[in-house]
Amino acid sequence: MQIIYDPIHERHAPETFISAGRVMPNPEVVERATRLLASVEQAGHDVVTPDAFGHDAYAAVHTGDYLEFLSSAHELWSKVAGASDEVVPNAHPGRHMHTRPHHIVGLAGYHMADTACPIGAGTWQAARAAADCALTAAARVMDGTRVAYSLCRPPGHHAYSDMAGGFCFLNNVAIAADYCRRHGAERVAILDIDVHHGNGTQGIFYGRGDVLFVSVHADPHAFYPWFAGYAEERGQDAGHGYNLNLPLARGSGDPQFHHAVEEGLAAIHRYAPDVVLISLGFDAQENDPLGILKVTTEGFRHTASMIAGLGLPTVLVQEGGYLCDELGANLAAFLDGFENAA
């Protein structure tokens, strides 16, 4: 299998985030990607660097104001007296506010949904590289490759068209899906199996009927992203009926996870897309430090074989999955399961 990877991701090394009021080390670390890379290299996969796509590919999904913010935020922040090394918002536009400010401290709150996505000096370069990895995988698949895996870091599925969040800046899978749509695919499906709901991806495509979004994730009643990911969210306007959320109770293991994936795959089969993209998170694994769901490494292997059973051109886009002994094995099992079933 062709693996798309760019070491530029190492320029993004966030230090902290705030969880339940506590300042904690940020789990979205460089080692996540290097462990995944070591796994695919050990398995003998072909690793290549991405092509450069540039502004227009990102702007197909993200607003111009937001891209300008991401590209300039750290430089502007560094000029604020007493500011931290990383851009971290301390004020957000609540439900009763509406003005987009001009000062960088206000802009940070406007364009960043939470405190989990600090922007450092190299974040913008790393985010672009991650999006280019996903775009390169999409381009290869649209050119006839059966499947390609983009080892994206930072991840992307919590990023909206104009807002970062949950470790994410550019929505890699949404950018890749839109690329497929503009390069020959009339209908595109996204299946998100990260433990968190892909709220940014949902938001980007919520009013569209040409991209079906399906997400299997932990119930957001008591888990990030809190405000989205509920079963009643079905899309709006032209997108009504093209959004399917399949939340799972905390502690769900392989049987419940596979049942939800099976339901999602049935919806994708009925939709009959030309290509499917997978937001591939491994943070549902039983030993992931988040500890929310209990999917096994072999459970990911079986999940991959189920997805391969669609028989569709497939773009795999890395999302979450945090440091545990099984991280690399999860990816190796998934790719092996896909290839042996395809």
Q: Which residues are catalytic?
A: 158
Q: How far apart are CA 121 and CA 63, in angstroms?
A: 21
Q: How far apart are CA 21 and CA 25, in angstroms?
A: 13
Residues 6+ apart with CB under 8 A from 329: 39, 297
DSSP string, 196-243: S--HHHHHHHTT-SSEEEEEEEE-GGGSTTSSS--TT----GGGTT-E
Instruction: Tell me the one-letter amino acid at 315.
Output: V
Alpha helix stretches (DSSP H) within 206-239: none
| β strands within 255-328, DSSP E | 275-280, 314-318
Q: Which two tokens stand for residue 195?
A: 């433990």
Q: Phi and psi at residue 64, in whole multiples of 5°?
A: -60, -40
